[in-house]
Structure 1
Amino acid sequence: MQKAVALKYDYTAAPTVTAKGSGLLAEKIMAVAKDNDVLLHQSPELVEMLSTLELGEEIPESLYLAVAEIIAFAHQIKDHQW
């Protein structure tokens, strides 16, 4: 079953979980992200870990590196769009 977790990062604290779900809810989360030009990253292992967090909860320090790499990649893509 498809799962999705949305994160918010405002550069003042660790990223927080803003939405999560599976099945139809996961599809809706991904559709909203696409509609708003938000990067979608597929990592089943990371989604499994993030989906254990509560809405509004900051990601744990053990996931900082994995999430930081995704954020850096998203910035790289955004900077190279014409």
Structure 2
Amino acid sequence: MNVKRGIKIATAIKYDMDKDSAPRLVAKGVGIVAENIIKKAQENNIKVLEDESISQSLMQLEVESEIPEVMYDAVAKILAFIYEMDRDKKGR
């Protein structure tokens, strides 16, 4: 998917270690849909990582599909970001 410069994109992943064998893409969107994904995340205190290259890669997947192994490096970056945010929050 080729998105024009300046147009917002957003993706969301979910990982339930008890149910999933890999993280899943649960939402993706461009423009107003992307803005709504981000707004919903913020309303639910879900951490948001801004990384265009990761989002561009995830946009290639179908919603509800598992993240393929070739994208695990990108997902590891997301999980590390969440871990750091949680650790910083607990340290306060």
TM-score, normalized by length of structure 1?
Answer: 0.90
2:24 to 13, 16, 37: 16
Aligned residues: 82
CA distance in 1, matches of 2:80, 2:54: 16
Q: Which ranges of 4 or more aligned residues in structure 1 deviate by more than 2 Å?
A: none
State the percentage of identical aligned residues.
Answer: 37
How far apart are residue 45 of structure 1 and its match? 1.2
Any gaps of 5 or more consecutive residues in structure 2?
A: 1-6
2:9 counterpart letter in structure 1: K
How far apart are residue 47 of structure 1 and its match? 0.8
SS of the aligned residue for 2:60 comes to coil
2:56 to 48, 62, 70: 48
SS of the aligned residue for 2:71 comes to helix
Matches within 5 A, 1:32-47: 32-47=40-55
1:2 counterpart residue number:
8
2:79 counterpart letter in structure 1: I
Structure whose alpha-carbon radius of gyration is higher: 2
Any gaps of 5 or more consecutive residues in structure 1?
A: none
| CA deviation string 1:11-68 (max 9, x = no partner) | 2421101111100000000000011111111111111110010011011111102211
What CA RMSD, in Å, does the superposition of the two structures yield over aligned residues?
1.2
2:67 counterpart residue number:
59
